[in-house]
Amino acid sequence: MSDGAAIAGPDGVLRCPWALSTEDYVTYHDEEWGRPVHGDDALFERLSLEAFQSGLSWITILRRRPGFRTAFADFRIEKVAAFTDDDRDRLLADPGIIRNRAKIDATLANARVLAGWAAGELDELIWSHAPAPATRPAPESTSDVPAVTPESTALSKALKKRGLRFVGPTTAYALMQACGLVDDHLADCASRNRKTAS
């Protein structure tokens, strides 16, 4: 077995190696990561959480996701777009989230931009950057999984051009992985190609 290849967990199921470090990751890997996500609010949540993750481990964000959802009105774009300065102060004092001023400000600014878009426009823009599955061979090990791709760079540019912030190519690619635009489960992973739209 090559370094970084799929590993069998205590239950005998082969998974991507990163998934086995905590139970939270096992659940996220098996039930969410790489499965198609649609809907403007759902994609706004994922985009926001990926931005908050920048510079941190994903487990930090994953374990605080309930707090994020409470703090940001379940990431309903229209509601977050209407947040006031008092709401911003509340967020900056909320121990249930990552209290990073720049990331909070970007999330609020992004919601205000997205509130002006037509229904389904964010979904359409993001999914228009999904590469054809046939062009992407299944990664054999974690070393075969990129951090940035031409598609994520193009998505980042498209989002920035439309006024969104904290959407660099690496964040865009993490979004693509999390939301099923690409399937980066390893070739031997039990979750490979097992997709259910949410």
Which tens digits make up the pLDDT trace of 126-151?
999 999 988 889 999 999 999 999 99
Q: Output the known binding site.
A: 16, 29, 185, 189
Q: What are phi and psi of 107, to 5 degrees?
A: -65, -45
58 labelled catalytic: yes
- Nearest-angstrom CA–CA distance, 41 and 75: 6
Q: Output the known binding site for Zn(2+).
A: 16, 29, 185, 189
Question: Which residues, including other chains, have CB under 8 Å from residue 76's CB and lie 6 or more apart?
Answer: 41
pLDDT on residue 195: 56
The active-site residue, picked from 28, 45, 151, 173, is 28
25 labelled catalytic: no
Percentage of the chain modeled with pLDDT above 70: 96
Which tens digits make up the pLDDT trace of 55-106?
999 999 999 999 999 999 999 999 999 999 999 999 999 999 999 999 999 9
127 labelled catalytic: no
The active-site residue, picked from 25, 33, 45, 50, is 50
The whole-number average pLDDT for the span 153-167 is 98
- Nearest-angstrom CA–CA distance, 180 and 176: 6
The active-site residue, picked from 18, 58, 117, 127, is 58
Q: What is the pLDDT of the chain when averaged over all its residues?
A: 94
Residues in the chain: 198
- Nearest-angstrom CA–CA distance, 140 and 100: 36
Say whether pLDDT at 31 is over 80: yes
Say whether pLDDT at 2 is over 80: no
